[in-house]
Amino acid sequence: MTKAKDLLSKMEEGKKGIITVTTELSWESVPSRGNKSGGFVGSLHTNLKSLTQSLGRSLPPSPDGKVRKEWIIRFGNDEVAWVYDYADDTPVSKITEWHVGGSRKAAEWIAKIVGAKFIANR
C-alpha cells in the first residue's frame, strides 16, 4: 500500500469543515474492476498525466469500450472510489473532466492526492 498519510495529514491540519483523516490512512490501486458499489459522485478536474503520476497505471479498457482509463482506489479504512472516463470521444490525453464513482469521502481524498478539483454531483 502507498502511504498517503503525510500528504493527507498536512492538508487536513487546522482546516475546519474538511474530512479528518487518521495519520495511518493508506491506499492502494485495485487490480480489477470486480464488484464496485456506489454510483457517480462527481467530477475530478485534472489530466491524464496527473492521474497516472499520482495513481499509477490504469486498468485496461472495459470490455464494452465505454471506459478506456480507470483507476480504482481503496483506502485503508475500506472507503473506495474510482476515477474513469465514460463514453467520451475526446482523446484520453485531452480529457480534463473525469467521472468519479463510489464513496464521496474517498473521491475527495483522491482529489487531494492528485492535486485536483473535485466537483460533487448534486
Give average pLDDT by consecutive 10-residue segment, the chain, 122 residues: 44 37 52 67 96 91 93 84 93 97 91 94 84
**Cα–Cα distance, 70 to 21 (Å, whole number):** 24
7 part of a folded domain: no
21 part of a folded domain: no
112 part of a folded domain: yes
Determine the structural domain holding residue 89 and report its residue range. 26-120
43 part of a folded domain: yes
97 part of a folded domain: yes
pLDDT at 122: 79
Number of domains in the chain: 1
C-alpha to C-alpha distances, 42 to 5, 22, 56, 110, nearest whole angstrom? 24, 24, 21, 12
In degrees and rounded to multiples of 5, residue 74 shows phi and psi of: -115, 125
**Does the pTM of the predicted model rise above 0.85?**
no
16 part of a folded domain: no
